[in-house]
Structures are given as C-alpha cells and as structure tokens.
A = this chain, B = another copy of it.
C-alpha cells in the first residue's frame, strides 16, 4: 500500500485505475514475491503520465533530487523506509557518507540534500556530506534558503576507501547521477556504494530500463488481465547518432515512423482521437536537456542548427550518441490550468510520497522536467483526517494507489535492469 494522497484529478476513478484497485491483494502479493528474488534500489523517483485510458512511467530516476518537495507529513514514512533500506545495504553501519551532485549553487538541489540528510539522520545514522566537487577544498557551510545550513566536506581517498576528516563510513550513498562519467575517486572502492556505479548515467541507458519495464508490464498485465500497452509506453532506440554531423537521421526517422504507426493503431483500437507523438531523448541523458516532441518522421530530418545543438548536448557536455524514442503519453491531469505530471518517490520498496511537476508554459504533449517548472506537493487525502477513519473496515483506497503500483513496476524494472547490466565481478 501507499499513502493516501490527493491527485490533481477529481471525479470517478477511471477504468484502468479501478481495475488496479480491485486487484490490490493480487498485485501486492505479486510484488512481494518479486522482491524475494530482486534487490530493491535504495531509492528512486518515477515520473508518470496519466492519459486517462493509459497510465505509464516515462522516466525512472535512481538518484532522486526532490526530497525537499515531499509533504513533511510523509517524513515518518520516509524515515521508516530509510531504516529498511539501510538494514539491507549495511545493517551494521552507524555512519554513512552521502555524495551529492557537484552543483553547489543550485539552492533547490541543496534543499534536497538537506531533506535527505534529515531523513537519514532521523533513521538513526551518523551521516556527513562529502563532496567530490573540485570547488570544495575545505569544509564549506552553505546557507539554505529556508534557514539552516548544509556542511559540505571534501572527500578524501585513503587506499580504496572514501573518508572525511575524522569520519570513516561502512557505506557510501550516491545522490550524484554520474552524468559526466565515473570520477576516478569513486572507482574500485571497497566500501559498499549504493546505488551502484552502473546505475549512473555514465553507464545507464533508458533503453535497458524500458526493455526491462516492458517485460515487467507484460507480466503485470497478465496478472490483472489488461492489455500491457495500457501501462507501457512503446519504445525504440538508435545507436551512433550524431546530430551535429547529421549521422543516423535515417535510423531515427525510421524508428519514429514505426512507433507512430504502432501508436496510431493502438489509438484506433481504443478510440483515442488525439494525434500520436513520440519523445526523442538521449538514451543516457537526464535533466530535461536533449529532449524533443516529435509528431512526424520529418520532424527529425533537417533539424536547424539550434535544434541540433539542443539535441547534441546533455548534462555536463556529454555528446549524444545513442537516442531513445519513447511513445508520448498525453497527460490528462492539470492543476490551476497548467499541465501536471505526478512524480512518485520510493525508498527501498515502499512508496513514501510524491509531488506534482507543474509547468504553466508547456503543452500536454511536452516533457515537463525542464528548468522553471513549479512543484506542488501532494497532500494526504482529507477523508483520512477524520478520527474514525482507521476504524472503518471499508475505507476506500483512493486513486493514488494506481500511481503507487505503476511506480513500483518501474522500480522493479530498475532492479532487473541493474542486475542485467551489472559489470562482471571477475
């Protein structure tokens, strides 16, 4: 189960949501058995799109950066789940070294680190933040916008261990997605590093994740007797694309064309009248750069210089070489007349909260993970604030349950993806 949350949607439950709710014991049982054989990521966030007829993940982040956006009411849930997560990675650990992203001037991100730190400390860990940024050469106190400060200390390498001055830890927790590659200082550590290095974007590929997701979705769809497409965005990929040199355009246009006609066929099957679209992303990218919305194969041919620049540079200047093409899912949800996308947070295999990503300037067919978006935290469902709520045997789980289920399917896919892409230990 997941917390009772409110969503941007009101009105009766949609068919798909209702079907997921009805199958709750079967779903929870199936998920429980999955976690017997698959290792849960330490934490994750999943971006969902709810098109009404279809509810699907569009991105799974293994280094979530928005813990500050969670409703503070969820803090005890986060703490409890963090205790479970810590017991798995390092049950005998008392100290944990947290390694954040290097962007120390992004105060939103610093608040995320502070929120995560708070959760881990409340879980009873002695945690310190070790920066691998070249700018942090001595202990540095950074003021937080809402009061308090964050202490970043320079990480030191001692043999095959990372330490801070006077601080040795059994495990290293990464909140750094390694988009710029795996720094030498993190390689071949004897400490437990979680998530593992191959979960970072230096090695991770969206295509692997969604390939695993497709298999998970198929099994899930069979379980509750639905068409897997209702929870799974179609996808394809192209290797060796160089937008600047116009290499690989044919592959891309071909895949786009194929996907669009598959989506079109599905839309006709379900009587959906909107125009099919796909999202083209860097297969190893993140941060909303290198993403375009495409409604025709022609859209990816003859890109102008500005478009090509946009597509060929992602975070920390990595060149795009592999491209992931994903079925676009229209969002059915909006908030204050702006498009809203739910983001679900998990620690260990527990859903611990979420928030809406809202962007007033964006359309229902665009990516919302972009600079300038607003966040709206999800709140507990009000019916549950009545004193007799816990006592009612027939209290209706609300629509958010379906979001928590789909997010956990993506979590399971991430787990399988990490197993399958783990480098040989030999």
Contact = CB atoms under 8 A, between A and B. Distances in A.
Interface of A: 1-4, 24-29, 31-33, 35-36, 67-68, 70, 72-81, 83-84, 86-87, 91-95, 111, 114-115, 117-119, 121-126, 144, 146-150, 350, 377, 380, 384-395, 397
A76 B87 CA distance: 20
B392 A94 contact: no
Nearest to A377: B387
A107 to B, nearest CB: 11
A114 B385 contact: no
Contact of A32 (B86, B121, B147): B86
Given A25-B94, A74-B390, 13 more contacts: A33-B91, A36-B91, A36-B92, A72-B384, A72-B388, A80-B80, A80-B81, A80-B350, A111-B391, A114-B392, A144-B391, A148-B391, A148-B393
Nearest to A386: B72
A390 B32 contact: no
A292 to B, nearest CB: 34
A388 B92 CA distance: 31
Given A28-B124, A32-B91, A388 B4 contact: no
Contacts of A390: 67-68, 70, 72, 74-75, 78, 115, 118-119
B118 A72 contact: no
A145 to B, nearest CB: 9
A124 B29 contact: yes
A26 B397 contact: no
Contacts of A389: 72, 75
How many copies are assembled?
2
Contact of A25 (B115, B125, B384): B125
Contacts of A388: 72, 146-147
B124 A1 contact: yes
B125 A28 contact: yes
A415 to B, nearest CB: 16
Contact of A123 (B1, B87, B95, B124): B1
A83 B115 contact: no
A72 B388 CA distance: 7
Nearest to A26: B94
Given A3-B76, A76-B3, A91-B36, A392 B25 contact: no
A91 B29 CA distance: 8
Contact of A393 (B70, B150, B386): B150
A114 B25 contact: no
Contact of A87 (B32, B79, B144, B146): B32
Of all A-B residue pairs in the complex, the 8 with the closest CB atoms, nearest first, are A28-B124, A29-B94, A146-B388, A72-B389, A25-B126, A3-B76, A1-B122, A1-B79
B147 A73 contact: no
30 contacts: A1-B79, A1-B80, A4-B75, A25-B95, A26-B94, A28-B94, A29-B125, A32-B83, A32-B91, A32-B124, A33-B91, A70-B390, A72-B385, A72-B387, A72-B388, A73-B384, A76-B380, A77-B80, A78-B390, A84-B84, A111-B391, A114-B392, A115-B391, A118-B392, A122-B397, A144-B391, A146-B391, A147-B388, A148-B394, A377-B387
